[in-house]
Chains A and B, each alone.
Chain A
Amino acid sequence: MLVTFAQAVGDAMKEEMRRDDRILVFGEDIAEFGNIFGITRGMLEEFGPKRVRNTPISEMAFIGAAMGAAETGLRPCVELMYADFSLVAFAEIYHCIAKWRYMHGPEYKLPLVIRSAMGSSFGATGEHSNCLESLYMHSPGLLVASPSNAYDAKGLLKEAIRNDNPVMFFEHKQLYKTKGEVPEEEYTIPFGVADIKREGSDVTVIAIGLMVGRALEAAEALAKEGVSVEVLDPRTLVPFDKEAVRRSVSKTHRAMVVEESNKTSGVGAEIAAMMQEEMYDELDGPVVRVAALDVPLPYNIELEKYAIPDAEQIAAAIRKML
């Protein structure tokens, strides 16, 4: 069945809500309106106002409420409209949600998912375009998922909802309309299992979210030049599938990380550092980072494009490595 990424996300929630009546969703404009991307459309009608609620623009309060509800036996799957605004409730997420179980004891479980739309989307500018996975990777206790396609989004979200740990679930805005094959039958995807999106033998490209598609484009172009690129999609950043990376670089001996976030202190910095600490012997050269420029994302579309890696930039960077 060919579905859009947006539909896959909505279907994952609906299927889980039919399975388990402890699950509820709330967030800004998700009820009648069905969220600004239409993802939660039909949910209010199917599950009623008790399980599908609009919140006021009060991120600190409704993230706090999600936490209290999760502690006491519900399984909230809340929507924080844009990842950018997760910072408004950053202390709640970074300090409370992540650390709660550790600081209060094992009986405290937090089956809680925070879904956010993220990433650049043509002139959305500096406060509506951020990819913030690296911030949440930095707080032990959180799980972090950043799917690149409809199939992974659905399987990972169902897994996230079933997990007793809090999950930050990022959905790239530019992916919402992309279509992918999704089976009719039920499936979930475990966290911490990377997926090789294209096999290759010359270089490993670890790409995240929207960048997976661009890395695949680059790989396609390079194949014509006789360069064989392996594209590895970690799918979840916490936990991170180090073994899959090790298997890949033990074959290619060269690695690159591509992310949409700006370079400094980004996901690529972490992965590159980890690889040189733990897989140095496998590497024939430094791990290369391809990332956005260190600027607030400009409004001007040409400059926005310039700031974020595209397939050509990725291909050019790969050529330099060989």
Chain B
Amino acid sequence: MEYSNEFLVKLYEELLHCRLFEKKLVDTYALGKIPGHIHSGLGGEACYAGTLATRQQGDYFKNSHRCIAVANLLGVSLETAFSEIMAKRTGNAGGRGGVNHVSQLKYNMLGFSATLACDIGLAGGAAMRLQYDGIDNIAYTFYGDGTANRGPVHEAMNLAAVWKLPVLFVCDNNQFGISTHVSQGSSVPNPAADRAASYGMPSAIADGTDVLNVYEAAKKLTDHIRAGNGPAVLECKNYRWRGHFEGDQTPYRDKKVTEEWMQKDSVAKMEKLLLDKKIIDQATIDNMYQQFDDEMERAIAFAEASPAITPEEIYEYLYV
């Protein structure tokens, strides 16, 4: 595919933001500033940034727990995101939902369920709404390779296919569900793509460490969906760089293999391409790192200075 320089820089910027955000989460968690658990998305950024580069105004999104940066990509301010992550009143749910639930409906985000796969069907519902109103947008739903084995995923795929709903199912196949390797949990080598055929859906497998490769695969499938042909499945192969949660020492996998995969760095690949083609220079790249880091630091300072909700507010948001 031919790309404009502008497109490549924008794609790189979104990929980089995912990387830096996920890195910042790890660092902030290490400082003890985040309650609960985080699931670092380092290693999987290209799956999200590449797929979402196909998004259009009016599309709907169901994110996973693996790349919280997506919320910011879709419009949620860093202040709101870090406030929710740090359990402050200024978060989208006032700190009632937390890191996995950074979501705002005004950016067409459908929310997330920590009961994995129970939210997969939401994209079908949003797609029903699009179909109902004759709007030709689509809905994206992200999930992991482990989650690919849950029943709701299969029911949602079948329903979307039967009703020809405009849904892109995107599997972030980082090869593990906590400690369980994908080969232990799935009877087929590609837990999402191989199963698409049984629902009569097209699918594609992308190199999840190469954001352009993901984009190209996603573009083909989303064009197909936008043309009114019903749902499709995209599976991105990558590797979870860190443990399932922070503190997971990953005794279940070979450190050498991890290191090999970390060489397949999606951000470094894009930087090399942009530098080789002289689309941007190193100083510009350095500046992009610095600028986003400053923005995140300001947002974290904002969140830290924000009050938490009080016990009097505990019932708020429960009933309309």
Contacts and interface: CB of A to CB of B under 8 A. Distances in A.
Interface in A116-169: 140-141, 143, 163-165
B90 to A, nearest CB: 11
A58 B158 contact: yes
B152 A69 contact: no
B121 A103 contact: no
Interface in A44-79: 50, 53, 55-56, 58-74, 76
Interface stretch (B23-31, B106-114, B226-234, B240-248): B106-114
Interface centre among A53, A68, A96, A106 (most CB of B within 10 A): A68
B104 A107 contact: yes
Contacts of B139: 68
A179 to B, nearest CB: 34
Given A55-B159, A72-B129, A64 B120 contact: yes
Contact of B101 (A55, A58, A104): A104
B81 to A, nearest CB: 12
B196 to A, nearest CB: 16
Interface string B125-162: 11111001100000100000000000110011011001
B177 interface: no
B121 A102 contact: no
A37 interface: no
Contacts of B110: 68, 71-72
Contact of A96 (B118, B129, B133, B156): B118
A17 to B, nearest CB: 13
Interface in B79-127: 92-94, 96-98, 101, 103-106, 108, 110-111, 113-115, 118-127
Interface residues of A, number: 43
A14 interface: no
B201 to A, nearest CB: 14
Contacts of A102: 93, 96-97, 317-318
Nearest to A58: B155
Given A61-B159, A64-B156, A141 B125 contact: no
Contacts of B108: 72
Contacts of B62: 68
A60 B118 contact: yes
Nearest to B84: A105
Nearest to A51: B132
Contact of B152 (A92, A140, A141, A143): A92
A284 B318 CA distance: 36
B319 A107 contact: no
B1 interface: no
A163 B320 CA distance: 9
A163 B125 CA distance: 19
Interface in B6-37: none
Interface string B259-274: 0000000000000000
A143 B319 CA distance: 9
Contacts of B176: none
B60 interface: yes
B320 A58 contact: no
A64 B139 CA distance: 14
A109 B115 CA distance: 20
Contacts of A106: 316-317
A47 to B, nearest CB: 12
Interface string B58-78: 001010000000000000000
5 contacts: A60-B156, A61-B121, A92-B118, A105-B105, A106-B317
Closest 8 CB pairs of A and B: A64-B121, A68-B125, A61-B155, A68-B122, A103-B97, A65-B125, A58-B155, A69-B125
Given A61-B156, A67-B125, A73-B129, 10 more contacts: A50-B132, A65-B128, A71-B126, A73-B133, A76-B125, A102-B317, A103-B97, A105-B93, A106-B316, A165-B319
